[in-house]
Amino acid sequence: MIDIRLLESDQILLNQYKEGLRNRKYDGKLVDEILALNAARKKLTQEFDEMRAEQNKASQSIAMLKKKGEDATQDLSKMKELSEKVKAVETELSLAEESVKQKALHLPNFLHESVPIGASEDENVIVRSFMDPKSFSFRTRDHVELGESLGVLDTARATKVTGARFSILTGLGARLERALTQFMLDVHTKEHDYIETVPPYLVNDVSLVGTSQLPKFREDLFAIEGTNYFLVPTAEVPVTNYYRDEILEEAQLPICYTAFTPCFRSEAGSYGRDTKGLIRQHQFHKVELVKFTHPDRSYEEHEKLVKNAEEILKRLELPFQVALLCSGDISFGAAKCYDLNVWLPGQSAYREISSCSNFEDFQARRAQIRFRPNGPKAKPRFVHTLNGSGLAVGRTWVAILENYQREDGSVEIPKALIPYMGGVTELRPQGPKKEDKS
């Protein structure tokens, strides 16, 4: 959430924010509307305070008249009229405060000064790459063709069971997903010092406001009818809200969590895109990384988080690029974001497998997550929150099948995963089942 008071008090900052909005492709008129509403709210607040003071003064006068045994009928009549006016102004003030609050929830974050200006993903900046894509001497298959021929992926029956954009993994395909999850969690907890947590898979609406999915992105969520619960779109929501409305101690920072959860997204607005396979599903698995940091060190921690996610791809020996997102492609709440894009031979393209964002105090202000700085009489400050995928498990599964495929349709298991696969070194096409002659 943006601090409206800062925009009101600093014209230079206001101009910079409006420029950032234009670069994000947002209409700056909303800021002007909110500032006008807030000015009206402050005027109502002043009027309310003056009327309350007048009301208190009148009460004292009536009390004095009664004490002296004098007639206070006329004063009581005026007091009743004043009380009705105070009640009306109080109602109007409450509505004005709620209007400012709700509209402010639609304002995106400030952009960090290092974010490149650009209109779309085509203007993202590639900051580094790992490995050159492998050159195949045969026609490469995509993960759907490979998965179905191997007998480890079934989208047709998943559609029958539930609907479009769902899948079923079987046999060694399911084992590979489980192996990837365990591998990622082991690296992040044993080597990168993240604390593993298993959060709820349902969250309330307050939590989604805290991490900025609500109210702006409600259509992307799956709501539980008749409740204020939603299926988690990402573990970022329950893990970040773990410290909602709390004050941490400076010595605790940074606090780093990792969590493996299913994620549920309606994929509103993505119709016609990636309808085939596992790239864009309503349900998928992800290992999430979340950090609560000191504001002075959040960008240092941001770089570390990106490297933590990169390490998984490096150990799996998958070609990838790290892209710094431009202003026209960055998410609503992020001040700065890197995408990790893995090479998929089946699409002859790099596709996102992790987004690593620094939200600065945007989420912390919404969720009221603060820390108490060291030193006498130091006032609590908002933490900075960071998160990123470490990684999206399904897309990593896709990347392995496509990058490790062989001409005969088999798929090699990356060396780092063999211990997690119980020694299995490859996936091979399954022939027809032998007839049972018993």
DSSP conformation letters of 55-75: HHHHHHHHHHHHHHT---HHH
Residue 361 CA: distances (Å) to CA of 145, 167, 275, 341, 385: 45, 37, 36, 27, 7
Task: Count Cα neighbours of 122 within 13 Å in the Cβ-side half-sphere.
Answer: 2
How far apart (Å, rounded) are the C-alpha atoms in residues 143 and 150? 10
Let me know: does 57 contact 49? Beta carbons within 8 Å: no
Dihedral, CA of residue 362, residue 367, residue 373 and residue 377, to nearest 10: 120
Let me know: does 204 contact 255? Beta carbons within 8 Å: no
How far apart (Å, rounded) are the C-alpha atoms in residues 121 and 133? 21
Q: Is 395 labeled as catalytic in the residue annotation? A: yes
- First vs last C-alpha separation in the chain: 69
Cα angle 337, 233, 145 (rounded to 5 degrees) comes to 90
Q: Could you say which of 298, 355, 357, 389 is catalytic?
A: 355
Q: Maximum CA pair distance of the chain?
A: 112
Q: Could you say which of 244, 352, 410, 412 is catalytic?
A: 352
What's domain 4-104's superfamily in CATH? Serine-tRNA synthetase, tRNA binding domain (1.10.287.40)
Instruction: Tell me the domain boundaries of the chain.
Output: 4-104, 121-427
How far apart (Å, rounded) are the C-alpha atoms in residues 354 and 323? 10
Q: DSSP strand E in 195-313: where?
A: 195-197, 202-204, 229-231, 246-249, 255-264, 283-293
Tokens of 152: 């480890």
How far apart (Å, rounded) are the C-alpha atoms in residues 298 and 423? 40
Q: Could you say which of 24, 365, 370, 395 is catalytic?
A: 395
Q: Is 165 labeled as catalytic in the residue annotation? A: no
Q: Is 310 labeled as catalytic in the residue annotation? A: no
pLDDT at 271: 60
Q: Could you say which of 280, 381, 406, 428 is catalytic?
A: 280
What one-character DSSP code corresponds to residue 176? Answer: H
List all residues 6 or more positions away from 248 whose beta carbon is below 8 Å from its beta carbon: 255, 292, 369, 370, 371, 372, 383
Q: Could you say which of 265, 365, 366, 370 is catalytic?
A: 265
Residue 330 CA: distances (Å) to CA of 161, 185, 358: 36, 27, 11
List all residues 6 or more positions away from 211 whose beta carbon is below 8 Å from its beta carbon: 236, 237, 240, 241, 333, 363, 366, 367
pLDDT at 366: 98
Q: Is 355 labeled as catalytic in the residue annotation? A: yes
Tokens of 387: 């998160």
pLDDT tens, position by position, for the chain (438 residues)? 899 999 999 999 999 999 999 999 998 899 999 999 999 999 999 999 998 888 888 888 878 777 878 777 777 778 888 888 889 999 999 999 999 999 999 999 999 999 999 999 999 999 999 999 999 999 999 999 999 999 999 999 999 999 999 999 999 999 999 999 999 999 999 999 999 999 999 999 999 999 999 999 999 999 999 999 999 999 999 999 999 999 999 999 999 999 999 999 998 666 666 667 899 999 999 999 999 999 999 999 999 999 999 999 999 999 999 999 999 999 999 999 999 999 999 999 999 999 999 999 999 999 999 999 987 788 999 999 999 999 999 999 999 999 999 999 999 999 999 999 999 999 998 655 554 454
How far apart (Å, rounded) are the C-alpha atoms in residues 126 and 103? 35
Cis omega (within 30 of 0) for bond into 391 = yes
Q: Which of 391, 430, 217, 241 is nearest to 308 (CA)?
A: 391
Q: Is 149 labeled as catalytic in the residue annotation? A: no
How far apart (Å, rounded) are the C-alpha atoms in residues 342 and 396? 8
Tokens of 153: 């992926």
pLDDT at 438: 44
pLDDT at 404: 98
Q: Does domain 121-427 have CATH number 3.30.930.10?
A: yes
pLDDT at 436: 47
